[in-house]
C-alpha cells in the first residue's frame, strides 16, 4: 500500500436528441489480424462474414512502440484498487504527455483518436465531444471524465478540450459501470490534469504559429511555496480561421491548484479550472444529388451572425489520508457549472428543382447547468485467511440542475446558391425563452475486491448500485411534466493469471446500463422507458519484453445491449422498447524501441457491430434494420507512429491514422468513406530548456468526413492540410 500521499507525489511525465528487436511471435500474430494484404484502405466486402474469415485474409506486419507505455504503471480509470494496467482485467490505453507533445495534439479529441480504437464523431450539436468505440457511440455509451469526475451533461461535456494542462489520458474500453455508473457500455475516457509538484519552481512557455492564421500560447508554472505547500498554474489560448469559410474559432483555459501537505499522511488539494470556447460555426455540407462535391469542401452555409459559445467551470477539493500502510481514504467535493449558447441556421438541404441550398432549423438554445457532489472511497490492504486481499468501498452523491431555453428550432434565413452567396442573418419569429428544467438527485454505492489466490493468480470483482430521481418542470405551462426514479446494479468479475513476471492473461464478465437519453434531457415520452442494459465477455493478453523497452496487448470481446428504443410495428407514431444491438471484435496494440534511436507505436481494431432487433419508420410503415451497422461505427481502425532520433537533439517523426467506412443512416444506404490521414513532424532540442518542433497534419490534404449531423445528408468535413511551428522553453 502507499506510504506517501499520492497527491503529494510529483506529477509524472513532466515535460438523437437535439443537443442534448525481434518481437515475440505472439506479438506478430496479434498485429497480423489488423493489416489487409493490400493495405488498410481496402474495405471488407463480405458484410456479415465472421471475424475468423476476415482475419484469414490478412497478412502480418511488424509494428512497435516506445518505453513510455509501461504496463506496470498504476492507472486510475480501470479500478479503485491502485492496479497497474497488467493487473487489471480490462483493456486500458494510456496517452501520456510525451506522446501528446511529440504528435502535436493540441485538442483532447485529436489525442484520443490516436489510440487506433476510438473514433471521434463530434459536431456542434453534441459539444464536439462524442466518441465511438467497440460499436457504441455518443455520450450515453462512451463516457468522458475530468480527473475521475463525471458531469451529467445534457449533450455530453464541453470541457476539457485543450491538452496543455493535461498530464495523461486514460481510456478504458468496454462496460465501466462498476466504477462510474450508468452510461459507459462502450467505454470511459478519463482526462487527468497536471498536478502540483514539490521542489523548485519550474516554468514552461510555449508558442505555436501555423497556417489558417493559427496561434496557440501556453504557460505552466509549478513548484513548492513552502515545505508543505505546492501549486500549479496553467494558462492556454488558441485561435484559428480553420478550413471552411467564416470558420474562425478561439478558446482559453485557466487551471490552478494549491496543495497543502500538513503531515506525511494527509494531503489536501484545491483546484479550479475555467474554460471558454467559441468553436467555428460549421454544421456540415449537404449532399448534392446524393453525393458530396469536393468543390464545396470549404463552404459554410451558416448565417453571418452564427454563434456557438461554451463556458465551463470545475472546482474540486480533494482530500487524501493514509492513516497506515494498509489504508487509504480519499474524499472529493466538487462543483461543476456549464453555460452553452447556440444561435445558428443548422439544416441545409439541396433543392433539385431550384438548384439552391434550402436553409432551415434556425436554432437558438441556451443551457444553464449546475452539479454539486461528493465522492468518497476507502482502500484496505489485508488478508483473507492466508491470501492477500485488497478491498475498496465508497459512495457518490450529487445533485444536478439543467435549464433549457430555445426558440422551438423554428425559422429560415432563405435559400442560397451552393457556390456564390451572401450568408445573411439569423431569422426566427419564435422567442427564445426557458422551456423546461430537469433536476436529478443521485447516489451510488460501490465495492471492489482483489483476492490473490496464489502469487500468480488473482480474482477481481466489483459491484455498484446507482439510484437517480429525475424530475422535469414545464416552464411554459408552469407544471410538473414528470417525476421518475431509475436504479441499476452493475457488476464485474474477472481474473488475471501471471504466466511470467512480464506476461499475464485475463478474462472478465461485466454488466452495465445506459440511459435511453442524456439523463438531464429526458422528456415525458422517453422518461417512461427503462435503461438499456448490456453485458460483455472479454479475454486478453498483456506482455512486456526487452526489459520494458516494449509492450503489447491483445483483447477479444463480445458486447450485447438490449432494450433499445424502436418504433411500434403497428403504429409508427409510438415507441416501444424492444431493440437490441451487439458487437464483437479484436484489439491489439504494441509499443517498442525496436532499434537504437528508433521507436514505433501501433494499435488497431476490427469489429463486427450489428443491430440484432431494431425497427425504424420508413414512410407510413416500419422497416427492420436487423443486421445493419449502427451509424458512425467504424469497423476497422488503426494508428501507427514512428520516431527516429537521427542525430543528437534531432528527431524525425511520422504517423498514419486509418478510420474505416461508417454509415450515416441506420439503413446503411449512405456511406461515409474510409480515410487515411498522414502526419509528419521534426523536433530539434536546441538545449535542455528549449525545443523547436514543426508539424504537418494531413500532409497529402486528403478530404474526409468525421460524422453526419442530426440529418444523415449533412456531413462534416475534417481538417485539411495544415502546418505548425512550435517553440517551447522551460526555465
Residue 711 lies in a domain: yes
Report the share of the chain in percent with pLDDT over 70.
87
* Residue 208: C-alpha distances to residues 104, 214, 679 (Å): 10, 8, 17
Question: What is the mean pLDDT of the segment spanning 53-71?
Answer: 42
Give the single-character DSSP code of 386.
T
Q: Supply angle C-alpha 428, 433, 436, rounded to 5.
A: 125
Q: Which pLDDT does position 520 carry in this prediction?
A: 81
Helix (H) or strand (E) holding 55: helix 51-56
Range of the domain at 210: 6-20+28-730
Q: Which pLDDT does position 72 carry in this prediction?
A: 81
Question: What is the mean pLDDT of the segment spanning 475-490?
Answer: 92
Mean pLDDT of the chain: 87
Whether the pLDDT of residue 287 is over 90: the answer is yes
What is the rounded CA–CA span in Å between residue 42 and residue 59?
13
Q: Which residues of 215-238 are buried (b: 16+ CB within 10 A; e: fewer)?
A: ebbbebebebeeeeebbbbbbbbb
Q: Is the dihedral of CA 124, 126, 128, 134 positive or negative?
A: negative
Residue 574's pLDDT band (boundaries 50, 70, 90)?
A: low
Q: Convert the pLDDT of each residue in 291-325 to its tens digit.
A: 999 999 999 999 999 999 999 999 999 999 999 99
Whether the pLDDT of residue 40 is over 70: the answer is no
**Set of cell numbers at residue 121:** 464523431
Q: Report whether the peptide linkage leading into residue 160 is cis, meaning its omega lies within 30 degrees of zero.
A: yes
Q: Which pLDDT does position 182 carry in this prediction?
A: 64
Domain count, the chain: 1
Whether the pLDDT of residue 671 is over 90: the answer is yes
Task: Give the CATH number, domain containing residue 94.
Answer: 2.40.170.20
Question: What is the mean pLDDT of the segment spanning 474-483?
Answer: 94
Residue 1 lies in a domain: no
Q: Convert the pLDDT of each residue in 684-715 to its tens digit.
A: 999 999 999 999 999 999 999 999 998 899 99
Q: Which pLDDT does position 540 carry in this prediction?
A: 96
- Decide: 587 and 91 in contact? Cβ < 8 Å: yes
Residue 549's pLDDT band (boundaries 50, 70, 90)?
A: confident
Q: Which pLDDT does position 154 carry in this prediction?
A: 64
Q: Which pLDDT does position 518 carry in this prediction?
A: 72
Other CB atoms within 10 Å distance of the CB of residue 309: 15
- 55-69, 441-455, 662-676: least confident range: 55-69
- 69-73, 172-176, 203-207, 719-723: least confident range: 69-73
* Residue 294: C-alpha distances to residues 211, 286, 299, 301 (Å): 21, 11, 10, 15
DSSP three-state, residue 179: helix
Q: Supply angle C-alpha 260, 262, 268, rounded to 5.
A: 40
Whether the pLDDT of residue 43 is over 50: the answer is no
* Half-sphere exposure of residue 275: CA atoms within 13 angstroms, side-chain side: 22
What is the rounded CA–CA span in Å between residue 59 and residue 302?
46
Whether the pLDDT of residue 523 is over 70: the answer is yes
Nearest to 159 by CA among 71, 236, 55, 82: 236
Residue 57 lies in a domain: yes
What is the rounded CA–CA span in Å between residue 413 and residue 360?
7
Q: In terms of pLDDT, which residue wins out, 249 or 56? A: 249
**Strand runs labelled E in 546-674:** 550-567, 575-595, 598-613, 615-618, 621-624, 636-647, 650-659, 662-663, 671-672
Q: Which pLDDT does position 23 carry in this prediction?
A: 41
Counting Cβ atoms within 10 Å, is residue 3 exposed (0-12), middle (13-18) or buried (19+)? exposed
Q: Convert the pLDDT of each residue in 216-258 to its tens digit.
A: 999 999 999 999 999 999 999 999 999 999 999 999 999 999 9
Residue 153's pLDDT band (boundaries 50, 70, 90)?
A: low
Residue 448 lies in a domain: yes
Counting Cβ atoms within 10 Å, is residue 581 exposed (0-12), middle (13-18) or buried (19+)? buried
Whether the pLDDT of residue 651 is over 90: the answer is yes
Whether the pLDDT of residue 35 is over 70: the answer is no
Q: Which pLDDT does position 729 carry in this prediction?
A: 98
- The radius of gyration of the chain from alpha carbons, rounded to an integer in Å, stands at 25
Question: What is the mean pLDDT of the segment spanning 130-149?
Answer: 89
Residue 560's pLDDT band (boundaries 50, 70, 90)?
A: very high
Q: Which pLDDT does position 67 carry in this prediction?
A: 42
Q: Which pLDDT does position 532 carry in this prediction?
A: 82
**Beta pairing partners, 117:** none
Q: Supply angle C-alpha 202, 169, 318, rounded to 5.
A: 65
Question: What is the mean pLDDT of the segment spanning 572-590?
Answer: 82
Residue 75's pLDDT band (boundaries 50, 70, 90)?
A: confident
Report the share of the chain in percent with pLDDT over 90.
73
Residue 60's pLDDT band (boundaries 50, 70, 90)?
A: very low
Whether the pLDDT of residue 271 is over 90: the answer is yes
Q: Is the dihedral of CA 54, 55, 56, 58 positive or negative?
A: positive
Q: Is the backbone of residue 646 left (phi > 0), alpha (psi -120 to 50) or beta? A: alpha
Amino acid at each position: 500500500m502507499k506510504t506517501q500521499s499520492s497527491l503529494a507525489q510529483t506529477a509524472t511525465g513532466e515535460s438523437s436528441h437535439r443537443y442534448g528487436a525481434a518481437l515475440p511471435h505472439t506479438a506478430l500474430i496479434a498485429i497480423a489480424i489488423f493489416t489487409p494484404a493490400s493495405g488498410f484502405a481496402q474495405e471488407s466486402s463480405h458484410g456479415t462474414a465472421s471475424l475468423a474469415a476476415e482475419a484469414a485474409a490478412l497478412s502480418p506486419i511488424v509494428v512497435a512502440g516506445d518505453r513510455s507505455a509501461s504496463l506496470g504503471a498504476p492507472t486510475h480509470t480501470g479500478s479503485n484498487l491502485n492496479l497497474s494496467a497488467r493487473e487489471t482485467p480490462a483493456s486500458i490505453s494510456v496517452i501520456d504527455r510525451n506522446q501528446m507533445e511529440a504528435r502535436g495534439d493540441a485538442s483532447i479529441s485529436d489525442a484520443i483518436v490516436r489510440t487506433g480504437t476510438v473514433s471521434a464523431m463530434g459536431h456542434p450539436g453534441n459539444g464536439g465531444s462524442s466518441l465511438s468505440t467497440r460499436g457504441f457511440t455518443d455520450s450515453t455509451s462512451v463516457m468522458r471524465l475530468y480527473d475521475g469526475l463525471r458531469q451529467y451533461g445534457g449533450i455530453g461535456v464541453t470541457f476539457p478540450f485543450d491538452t496543455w494542462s493535461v498530464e495523461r489520458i486514460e481510456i478504458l474500453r468496454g462496460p465501466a459501470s462498476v466504477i462510474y455508473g450508468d452510461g459507459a457500455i462502450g467505454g470511459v475516457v478519463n482526462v487527468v490534469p497536471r498536478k502540483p509538484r514539490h521542489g523548485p519552481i519550474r516554468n514552461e512557455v510555449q508558442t505555436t504559429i501555423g497556417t489558417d492564421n493559427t496561434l496557440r500560447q501556453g504557460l505552466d508554472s509549478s513548484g513548492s511555496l513552502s515545505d508543505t505547500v505546492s501549486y500549479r498554474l496553467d494558462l492556454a489560448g488558441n485561435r484559428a480561421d480553420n478550413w471552411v469559410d467564416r470558420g474562425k474559432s478561439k478558446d482559453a483555459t485557466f487551471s490552478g491548484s494549491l496543495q497543502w501537505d500538513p503531515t506525511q499522511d494527509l494531503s489536501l488539494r484545491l483546484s479550479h479550472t475555467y474554460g471558454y470556447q467559441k468553436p467555428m460555426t460549421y454544421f456540415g455540407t449537404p449532399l448534392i444529388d446524393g453525393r458530396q462535391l469536393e468543390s464545396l469542401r470549404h463552404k459554410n452555409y451558416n448565417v453571418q451572425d452564427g454563434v456557438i459559445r461554451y463556458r465551463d467551470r470545475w472546482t474540486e477539493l480533494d482530500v487524501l489520508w493514509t492513516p497506515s500502510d494498509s489504508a487509504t481514504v480519499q474524499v472529493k467535493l466538487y462543483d461543476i457549472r456549464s453555460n452553452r449558447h447556440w444561435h445558428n441556421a443548422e439544416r441545409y438541404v439541396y433543392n433539385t428543382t431550384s438548384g439552391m441550398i434550402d436553409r432551415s432549423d434556425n436554432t437558438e438554445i441556451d443551457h444553464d447547468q449546475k452539479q454539486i457532489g461528493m465522492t468518497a472511497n476507502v482502500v484496505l490492504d489485508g488478508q483473507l485467511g492466508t491470501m492477500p486481499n485488497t478491498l475498496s468501498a465508497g459512495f457518490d452523491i450529487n445533485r444536478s440542475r439543467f435549464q433549457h431555453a430555445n426558440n422551438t428550432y423554428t425559422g429560415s434565413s432563405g435559400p442560397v446558391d451552393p457556390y456564390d452567396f451572401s450568408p445573411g442573418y439569423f431569422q426566427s419569429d419564435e422567442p427564445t425563452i426557458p422551456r423546461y428544467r430537469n433536476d436529478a438527485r443521485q447516489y451510488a454505492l460501490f465495492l471492489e475486491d482483489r483476492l490473490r489466490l496464489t502469487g500468480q493468480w488473482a480474482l477481481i470483482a466489483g459491484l455498484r448500485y446507482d439510484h437517480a430521481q429525475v424530475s422535469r418542470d414545464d416552464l411554459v405551462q408552469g407544471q410538473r411534466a414528470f417525476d421518475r426514479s431509475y436504479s441499476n446494479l452493475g457488476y464485474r468479475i474477472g481474473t488475471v493469471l501471471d504466466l511470467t513476471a512480464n506476461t499475464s492473461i485475463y478474462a472478465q464478465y461485466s454488466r452495465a446500463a445506459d440511459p435511453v437519453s442524456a439523463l438531464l434531457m429526458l422528456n415525458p415520452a422517453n422518461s417512461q422507458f427503462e435503461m438499456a442494459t448490456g453485458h460483455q465477455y472479454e479475454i486478453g493478453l498483456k506482455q512486456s519484453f526487452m526489459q520494458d523497452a516494449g509492450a503489447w496487448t491483445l483483447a477479444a470481446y463480445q458486447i450485447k445491449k438490449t432494450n433499445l428504443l424502436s418504433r411500434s410495428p403497428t403504429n409508427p407514431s409510438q415507441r416501444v422498447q424492444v431493440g437490441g444491438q451487439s458487437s464483437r471484435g479484436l484489439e491489439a496494440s504494441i509499443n517498442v524501441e525496436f532499434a537504437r534511436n528508433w521507436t514505433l507505436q501501433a494499435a488497431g481494431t476490427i469489429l463486427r457491430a450489428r443491430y440484432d432487433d431494431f425497427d425504424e419508420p420508413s414512410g407510413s410503415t416500419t422497416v427492420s434494420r436487423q443486421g445493419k451497422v449502427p451509424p458512425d461505427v467504424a469497423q476497422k481502425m488503426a494508428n501507427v507512429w514512428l520516431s527516429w532520433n537521427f542525430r543528437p537533439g534531432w528527431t524525425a517523426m511520422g504517423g498514419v491514422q486509418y478510420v474505416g467506412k461508417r454509415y450515416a443512416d441506420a439503413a446503411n444506404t449512405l456511406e461515409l468513406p474510409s480515410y487515411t490521414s498522414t502526419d509528419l513532424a521534426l523536433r530539434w532540442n536546441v538545449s535542455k530548456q528549449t525545443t523547436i518542433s514543426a508539424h504537418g497534419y494531413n500532409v497529402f490534404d486528403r478530404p474526409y468526413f468525421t460524422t453526419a449531423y442530426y440529418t444523415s445528408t449533412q456531413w462534416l468535413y475534417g481538417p485539411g492540410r495544415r502546418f505548425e511551428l512550435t517553440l517551447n522553453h522551460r526555465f
